[in-house]
Amino acid sequence: MMIKVSVLYPKQLDTKFDMPYYLNGHIKLVQQLLGPRLKGVAVEEGICGAEPGSSASYVAIGHLLFESLADYRAAFEPHRETIVGDIPNYTNSRPVIQISEIRL
């Protein structure tokens, strides 16, 4: 069983998102802090919606993979303040978090 923590950044008219900082600053920080319990990372940048000419619902989505929910919590909780505190450095979007069990 693998756990995926998805961090979705909703796109609004006034959303600012610094993708270079997110990739080279924030994600690197997260990888360093979460250490070997973090099994994988993926970052998506929203480009459009399903309808031609429509906007993406999310400006970006970050995914973190862990072997278990317990591993995620053990890795994240000691660093929560640092990781969450870095968000204003790259966006004004309020992230939505979803934790999922990967089934396929």
Amino acid 104: pLDDT: 95
Neighbours of 3 (CB within 10 A): 19
- Paired residues of 80 in beta bridges: none
Q: What is the CATH number of the domain that holds 80?
A: 3.30.70.100
pTM of the model: 0.95
Residues 12 and 94 sit within 8 Å (Cβ to Cβ): no
pLDDT for residue 67 is more than 90? yes
What range does the domain containing 12 cover? 2-102
pLDDT tens digits along 26-64: 999 999 999 999 999 999 999 999 999 999 999 999 999
Q: How high is the mean pLDDT of the chain?
A: 97
Q: Token match 């966006």: residue?
A: 91
- CA–CA distance, 28 with 51 (Å, rounded to integer): 34
CA distances from 74 to 10, 21, 25, 34 (A): 27, 26, 22, 9
Counting the structural domains of the chain, the total is: 1
